Amino acid sequence: MMESFDLAVIGGGILGAACAREASLDGRSVVLLEAGDFAGATSGSSSKLVHGGLRYLEQFEWGLVRESVRERADLLRTANHLVQPLDFVLPLLPESRHGSLSTNWGLHLYDALAWPRGIRPHLPLSQSEIEALLPGIRPDGLRSGFRYTDAVMDDARLCLAVLSDARSLGCALRPRTRVEGLSMQPDGSWLLQVDRSRSASNVRARTVLLCLGPWTDAMLQRWGLQGEDPLLSPSRGDHLVYPDWGIRHAVLLPEPGSDRIFFVIPWKGQTLVGTTEDPWSPAEGTPLPRSVDRIQSWVERFFPGNPHRPFAAFSGVRPLAHAPGKSLQVASRRHRRQEIRPGLHALVGGKYTTFRAIAESCRPLWGSDSVSRSAGRLLPGAFESPEHRVETARVLETLRLPPESAARWLERYGCLAPTLEDSLREAGDCGLQGPGRIQGAEVLHAVRQEWATSLVDVVVRRTLDAWRPDRGRSFLPVIRTLAHSGSLPWNADAEESALEEWILPRSVPR
């Protein structure tokens, strides 16, 4: 069987999702094919920041920073359930690369580039104010600092929300569908051979856009389409997940022994500590033990006496556009679009934050030159107004959830939270009660509405329970019950071992 489309997008990270949505908004017939789970690669392993990129000012990337803060403002409105403002503290320490004057100047510029978009301007902080905001920070040498505002996101769910919008516009979405090969047809269209074990039909498209992230060069090579130079200069970032330290502000700190920074971020009830821009080779997998030790040693240096230990870790590979002769820190975060052959293009680089603008810039590929309709368009789940949020919370009360679950559902599903009522009822009919009934509803919703095909998909990228100390294991009895009642096509025992296999390399021994 063969299906034909105007555009085929290969790769279901944020860039593929955004381009599929943009072309669907332009009325094109679009298919998106993803080898694994949506947002299962870099787009689910980012540092979760929707940010202008303060440090890119040092490279005079003013255009990129301006575009990023504009997109940050757009996302704070259009994905207001998944993207929230987050205050950052920038303490000035003996290890800091910049003094008070130049940091203040940079922050003024950062504010000016964001003007007039409603984010609070930066503020100077005294030593005692910093100590109050960051309990446990090392006091020696701490002079003063600054507070400024960026934003934090749920990266995997934001990608799912963009895909959900694309689906509502008629886009065909194919998770777990690996593209094995590409060939140009005599009429100039492209034939995509897909993994036949997963999909019954091949796909033909007039235009193909590769959004393969870190796999771009490897896939082009495999398909015999590589050019002289690679398209990527990939870099790696590792994050440790700690139980909540009780800090409510993110912190930027100097990485000892280098001119880079690392950050501490309060995220979904846990604390993330992360770094980016280490060199990467394809042989490397999950976080290396030396990265774990290195990051933990920085924590001990800047937060001496911090009793918390990480329980999990994750890594991501940044598909930076190839920048010969430049270090990974100064390589531009701009995206690059490359024509590989007529009708076949690759998109690499960029930041998560600017996904919509990047997709907008690709519109000539599918012949659109009118004004894009994606800016300002609410993503599924976003609240239209503060009153809409209050009203949704009121409707949710009728489901009689415990307050903590209701708050989590509002944050996760936004105005769509009340639509889980049917799943809640079905979970109850399967014999689940109390917290298990709520988890059961989340699993059923993830499978039926959010393309989840395994428990790992559910707890890693839909509910984020894999990033809590229990690592999502409390879902195991729930899926056993649902599977037993015939509500899930899963073998619960296989799911249990798959979850353990996923957890093991990402656990940090305490």
Residues that bind ligand FAD (CB under 6 A): 10-16, 33-36, 40-43, 46-49, 51, 178-179, 211-215, 219, 237, 276, 316-319, 350-353
Q: How far is the CB of 498 from ligand FAD (least distance, A)?
A: 17
Closer to ligand FAD by CB, 91 or 316: give it: 316
Nearer residue to ligand FAD within complex by CB, 72 or 437: 72
What is the nearest approach in angstroms of ligand FAD to the Cβ of residue 337? 12
**Residue 333 near residue 353, CB atoms below 8 Å:** no
For residues 453 and 474, which CB has a smaller minimum distance to ligand FAD in the complex? Answer: 453
Q: Are 414 and 382 in contact (CB under 8 A)?
A: yes
Do 268 and 464 meet the contact criterion of CB atoms below 8 Å apart? yes
Is 33 or 362 the residue whose CB approaches ligand FAD more closely?
A: 33
CB atoms within 10 A of CB 490: 18
Tell me whether strands 2-10 and 202-210 are parallel, antiparallel or unpaired.
Answer: parallel
Give least dist CB 487 to ligand FAD, A.
28
Could you tell me which of 53, 35, 30, 68 has the C-alpha nearest to residue 209? Answer: 30
Integer angstrom CA distances of residue 250 from 99, 119, 206, 343, 421: 20, 16, 46, 44, 35
- Nearest approach in angstroms of CB 304 to ligand FAD is 26
Q: Residue 49 phi/psi, 5° resolution?
A: -105, 130
When the beta carbons of 316 and 380 are compared against ligand FAD, the nearer one is 316
Q: Is 503 exposed, middle or buried (0-12, 13-18, 19+ CB in 10 A)?
A: middle
**Alpha-carbon distance 359 to 387, whole Å?**
31
Nearer Cβ to ligand FAD (92/359)? 359
Residue 11 vs 91, nearer CB to ligand FAD: 11
CB of 372 to ligand FAD, least distance (A): 19
For residues 55 and 318, which CB has a smaller minimum distance to ligand FAD in the complex? 318
Q: What is the DSSP letter of 463?
A: S
Beta bridge partners of 436: none
- In three-state secondary structure terms, 233 is coil
CB of 67 to ligand FAD, least distance (A): 11
How does DSSP assign 311-370, residue by residue? -EEEEEEE-PBP-TT--TTTS---EEEEEEETTEEEEEE--STTHHHHHHHTGGGGT--S
- Terminal CA-to-CA distance of the chain, rounded, Å? 53
> Min. distance of Cβ 500 from ligand FAD in angstroms?
22
Q: Minimal distance in Å, beta carbon 146 to ligand FAD? A: 20
Comparison of 321 and 430: residue with beta carbon closer to ligand FAD = 321
Smallest gap, in angstroms, from Cβ of residue 351 to ligand FAD? 4
Report the largest interatomic distance among the alpha carbons of the chain, rounded to a whole angstrom: 71
